Amino acid sequence: MGKAAPRSRHGKTSNKKREQHRGADAEESDVVVHSTGLVTAALPPTSLAPCVRQLRESTDYSALEEACGDVAHFGLQSRHHSAFVAAAVPQRLAQLLLATSPYDTTTAARSDAATAAGTVPEPHRGVLYMQVAAAEALRSLITNSEQDLVVDLLTSADVEAVCGGSFTDGLVRLLHADWNHILVARRSTTPEDWMQVYTGDDDDAAAVAATADVEATPAEATTAHRRRGNSCNVYFTLLRHLEEVLVLTASCVEASEACAEAVSQPAALLLLLDVLRSATTTTWETLLHPSANYYLAESTSTAAVTSETVLAMRAYKRREADLLASLAVSVGDVLLLLSPENPMLAHVFTGAGAGGGGGGASASMVASAEQRAFLNTAVDAVDLRAWLAGKPTIEAQLQERLSDGAALPSFLGPQHSAMALERERVLHDLLRATLHLHGMLLHIAPVADNIQRVLPLLSDALHKVSLPMRVWCGVLPLLMGTAECADDEVRVAATRLATHRLRSTQSAVRLLCVVVNAIGEKNNSELHGDDEAAFAANPLAALLQSGSLLYAVGLLLKDVLWMSPYIDADVEGGVSSPSDVMARQQRALRAEASTNAAAAEVQMVLLSTEVNVWEVASTLLLMLPVESLGEPALTWRAIQHAVRSRYGLHLDAVAAEAADEGGEVRASSIIQCSPSTHRLLWMQLEALGQMLWTLQRKQAKAHANAAGGAAVPFNHVQATAADVDLLVRLSWETPASALLKQSCVGAVGLLCASMQDADAVATATRFALAVALNGGSATAAVVTGRTLLDIYAQLVPAATPTLAAEQRGWLQQLAVVDSVATVRCEAANTLVDLFLDERYDTSVYWPLGVQDVLRGFAAQLTAYVKRRQQLNKETRRRGLVSTETPDAEQWAELLDNLGGFLAYKAQHK
């Protein structure tokens, strides 16, 4: 199954497994949010930025940490990102992370004292903090780079020279070392450590104190920072260090095959599984302890009869559970990203398959009995399902009125104390980690039994923790500080919980994507020309349609499209339309995100969650009959409004970036204008465009069937000229993908034909002619006025490379040319569809020269197909990479259709 991908004349779609998008994607690893300095700013116009000089020259760990933070922040901007890459900043960050040990820099006096006392020497906290910042900066540069440039630099030989080895191996070694140090630190915990946390002398409390002491001089602040580094809990610091390294690992695994292969080695996989097992089970022990009451509200009366040591232990265990649950999410994310088409992971976790190793060593390469027992327990998720059972239903959440902020929303739970909200947040993290684990299981063993095992928790999650837009509306008064129902502590805790709830929704939708793809792989291949029939004949289709899973998906989609019948009325009185409410809420969140880190994070989580929602909705829309979609016209209009909204966000970001380059200061977040945000927006637009096109094709087919098979155009979606104009403008944007351009061409043709008006048909014809002559996903300078063979000669080197890295780039360029051919083919298909009869031949077809353009395109497509066939033979003969493409079938079919169509038109002129 795939995204409404290059279609044949019968609407064929590919059954190839779709790559899982994270949010960009998609998780918190895709976004670096800073609590200060969100408003767009510029680095000084010097030849070398101060933070780069600090990274190169400073030996003070606090200064290096600060420089890493600046890189992470300004690396979100394309022009600064390019400058950092040119200055070899990624290589320097890798050196700080991998070639500096916090234990090698511990002073000799402290090491001697620890040895004399029989304890393990403590690490240098300054190094740990600096490395956390370095990992965050690397992640920012990786996720905001074009064409995986940064990760390619990190895996090159240049990094090996400065890091003493390869980046990928160093990352794996760091994971092992961190976990070993964590185990030692946890065993060394004493009641004094409990008291440090209880009295607020941990990392978070120290950070708050540092920002509060505004009168401290820089020297005093540095001294205080070092003092905090020497006194705060090393166990918690190491947990945060490992989590940041894991989040960086996830970004690297997603972008680099070399990183994925390094982390897929049995020792690394077993380490990840052990970290996940320990973090998850320890957290559940804290949450479900029968007598400790770690999350018991500490009122004045209970505190008076409870010893301070017990209260300190409870605070310590809560802090540990928070960090361990977050760690479990990071591990689960790495495993989920590694799992598609990974036989080694399948072998290690299930013992199935050869795994690529010798039989004698296989016993040490597979999960232990204890680890497998943990996996079974996690898959069953009994405790999580019991927790979700107590949550309000979707229907109850939809009927809440949240516009005035007079009451906290029900998803925050019945107890609105900071401690209760903290417990809920930990449970959401455990839910996310478990959903990731379920997705991994389906990737390595996509069988009916496993699908049945994961569906109950997935269904519960979608029924109880979805509705991201309702969560957004509920938390917006808290973000803006207009809610009078909560003090500052509860407001901060509730905001964090709402963000975790949104991330739980995203994790559930990611798992739903895996489930839908796993089921779609079993579609009847003999019915590949009809997605609905192929899905109906699928023996696993009943699993998806049983219960109320699709009902929950429908409500989720309506929520994201703002089609809920319970949208709040305007606070000033009267009734607002859903689009008015959406526009008002979007403006409020975007304005707040300009100066509020929490709001910026919520905005990014929403964007990445929507990517996953549109992805799964686009796939389901291909397989489900149009009758099951309710009123298609309303759905189409909502999707079109979503396209207009996202395109507007793109234009706003472009304008803000242009103003920033011109020296104008705008109140827009750097995050809102970052390359990763741009990618999220265009991933959304791609899926939304495919949904529009698919819905129109289905409606046109249903209308034709109702009319006795006659293909009579009918404007069933009530489209207007403004809708056509939007899709035309969208398709000519440079960032638009080939799939989006293809969808726009097809959708415009269907829309204009349905209007049954010569002017509308002429508009679609001019657009399709322009695309057939100049269209494609490459830059305008490459494709405009050039034939397919010209583009091929310019982009694809004549000699096929033999090195793997060079082959990847060569294949990418070849795929670009193929996508240009496919987009132009869709334009030709559209022209054929517009003029199948003679109604508009006299007024449009002949005056606009459609016959000559199609004849010329048929000639250039024939030449390109011949060249591609020659290339396929050459690579097969030389034993190189395969260059065959599934688009070749569509090209051949179009050439057959064009031959008959052009001959008929010439005869009946």
The H or E element that residue 713 is part of is none
Distance CA 672, CA 682 (A): 13
DSSP letter at 265 equals: S
Residues 651 and 640: their CA atoms lie apart, in Å, by: 17
> For 615, how many CA atoms within 13 A lie in the half-sphere containing its CB?
32
Confidence of residue 736 (pLDDT cuts 50, 70, 90): very high
* Angstrom distance (rounded) from CA 763 to CA 747: 13
pLDDT at 325 over 90: yes
Q: Tokens in use for 673?
A: 């204008």
155 and 293 fall within a common domain: no
Q: Are 473 and 434 in contact (CB under 8 A)?
A: no
Q: At what angle do helices 266-288 and 418-444 cross, to 10 degrees?
A: 150
With a pLDDT cut of 70, the percent of the chain lying above it is 81
Phi, psi of 669 (to 5 degrees): -75, 140
**Cα 758 from Cα 745, distance rounded (Å):** 18
Q: What is the pLDDT of residue 584?
A: 77
For the chain, the residue count is: 909
pLDDT at 10 over 80: no
| The pair of three-digit structure tokens given for residue 544, joined into one six-digit string | 């998806």
Give yes or no for residue 791 having a pLDDT over 90. yes
Please give the structure tokens belonging to residue 443: 């990737």
Structural domain contains residue 828: no
Q: What is the DSSP letter of 103?
A: T
Q: What is the mean pLDDT of residues 668-688?
A: 84
> What is the arithmetic mean of pLDDT over 692-704?
85
- The Cα–Cα gap between 798 and 789 comes to 12
454 neighbors 381 (Cβ within 8 angstroms): no
For helices 549-560 and 597-623, give the axis angle rounded to 10 degrees: 130
Measured from the Cβ of residue 187, the count of other Cβ atoms closer than 10 Å reads 9
Segment holding 476, helix H or strand E: helix 468-480
Same domain, 69 and 185: yes
Section 880-895 average pLDDT: 90
How far apart, in whole angstroms, are the C-alpha atoms of residue 601 and residue 715? 41
- Gyration radius (Cα) of the chain, Å: 29
Instruction: Select the more confidently predicted residue: 698 or 130.
Output: 130
Tokens of 811: 């294949």
287 shares a domain with 235: no
Predicted local confidence at residue 199, as pLDDT: 78
Structure-token pair, residue 706? 């109702």
Question: Is 170 inside a domain boundary?
Answer: yes
- Cβ atoms of 91 and 162 within 8 Å: the answer is yes
pLDDT of residue 209: 40
Mean pLDDT for the stretch of residues 137-145: 94
| Domain residue limits at 103 | 30-260
> What is the model's pLDDT at position 304?
54
Instruction: Tell me how far apart the alpha carbons of residues 156 and 471 are, in angstroms, rounded to a whole number.
Output: 44
Q: List, for residues 331-381, the tens digit of each pLDDT value.
A: 999 999 999 999 999 999 987 654 444 443 455 688 899 999 999 999 999
pLDDT digits over 361-370, tens only?
Answer: 455 688 899 9
Q: Does 413 lie in the same domain as 280?
A: yes
Residues 247 and 328 in one domain: no
Q: How far apart are CA 689 and CA 739, in angstroms?
A: 9
Is 397 in the same domain as 500? yes
Contact criterion met (CB below 8 Å) for 851 and 841 = no
pLDDT at position 232:
58
What pTM does this model have?
0.88
Residue carrying structure tokens 């992805």: 615
Q: Which residue has the higher pLDDT, 480 or 96?
A: 96
Residues 6+ apart with CB under 8 A from 325: 279, 280, 283, 426, 429, 430, 433
822-848 pLDDT per residue, tens = 999 999 999 999 999 889 999 999 999
| Three-state secondary-structure class, residue 794 | helix
414 and 491 inside one domain: yes
Least confident of 43-57, 262-276, 291-305, 601-615: 291-305
Residue 472 lies in a domain: yes
Task: Tell whether the model's pLDDT for residue 439 goes beyond 90.
Answer: yes
Residue 727 is predicted with a pLDDT of 97
Choice among 14-28, 524-538, 803-817 with the minimum mean pLDDT: 14-28
CA distance 557 to 552: 9
Residue 515 is predicted with a pLDDT of: 96
35 contacts: CB under 8 Å, gap ≥ 6: 597
Q: Does residue 84 belong to any structural domain of this protein?
A: yes
- How high does pLDDT run on average in the chain? 82
Shared domain for 250 and 383, answered yes or no, is no
Total domains in the fold of the chain: 2
From its phi and psi, is residue 695 left (phi > 0), alpha (psi between -120 and 50) or beta?
alpha
pLDDT given at position 343: 93
Segment 568-589 mean pLDDT: 60
Q: Domain for residue 64, yes or no?
A: yes
State the DSSP code for 123. P
**161 with 207, same domain?**
yes
Residue 129 has pLDDT above 60, yes or no: yes
Structure tokens at 839: 């109604």
> Which of the listed ranges 289-298, 489-498, 565-574, 725-734 does the model predict with the highest average pLDDT?
725-734
Residue 722 covered by a domain: no
Listed in sequence order, the residues at least 6 apart from 806 whose beta carbon sits closer than 8 Å to its beta carbon are none
Tell me if 340 is assigned to some domain: yes
Stretch (H or E) spanning 351: none
333: CB partners within 8 A, 6+ apart: 22, 27, 29, 246, 247, 250, 436
193-248 pLDDT, tens digit per residue, is 888 777 765 444 444 344 333 334 443 443 333 333 333 588 999 999 999 999 99
Q: What is the pLDDT of residue 39?
A: 37
What's the N-to-C CA distance of the chain in angstroms?
42
Q: Does pLDDT of 13 surpass 80?
A: no
The DSSP H or E segment spanning 12 is: none
Residue 203 lies in a domain: yes
181 in helix, strand or coil? Answer: helix
The stretches of 26-124 forming alpha helices (DSSP H) are 50-57, 61-74, 78-86, 89-98, 108-117
Q: Of 227, 260, 293, which one is at a domain's C-terminal end?
A: 260
Same domain, 284 and 371: yes
CA atoms within a 13 Å half-sphere pointing along the CA-CB vector of 658: 6
Percent of the chain with pLDDT over 90: 49
DSSP 306: S
Task: Quote the pLDDT of residue 469.
Answer: 84
Once rounded to an integer, what is the mean pLDDT over residues 118-147?
A: 88
Max Cα-Cα span within the chain: 101
Given 591, 616, 637, which residue is the final one in a domain? Answer: 591
Phi, psi of 39 (to 5 degrees): -70, 140
447 shares its domain with 411? yes
pLDDT of residue 415: 74
CA atoms within 13 A on the CB side of 655: 9
Mapping DSSP onto H, E and C, the string for 26-44 reads CCHHHCCCCCCCCECCCCC
Measured CA to CA, the distance from residue 194 to residue 65 in angstroms comes to 27
Distance CA 566, CA 553 (A): 17
pLDDT exceeds cutoff 80 at 586: no
DSSP string, 529-567: T-HHHHHHT-TTHHHHHSTTHHHHHHHHHHHHTT--TTP
**Residue 475 confidence (pLDDT) above 80:** yes
Other CB atoms within a 10 A radius of the CB of residue 529 amount to 14
Determine the pLDDT at residue 221: 41
pLDDT at 35: 36
Q: End of a domain among 567, 591, 615?
A: 591
Taking the C-alpha atoms of residue 2 and residue 622, their distance in angstroms, rounded to an integer, is: 9
Average pLDDT of 605-628? 89
Give the 3-state secondary structure of residue 669: strand
Tell me what the mean pLDDT of segment 314-334 comes to: 95
User: What are the pLDDT digits (tens) for 405-420?
Assistant: 556 777 777 777 888 8
pLDDT at res. 490: 85
pLDDT on residue 792? 93
Q: Are residues 190 and 305 in the same domain?
A: no
* Integer Cα distance of 741 and 731 in angstroms: 5
**When comparing pLDDT for 626 and 4, which is higher?**
626
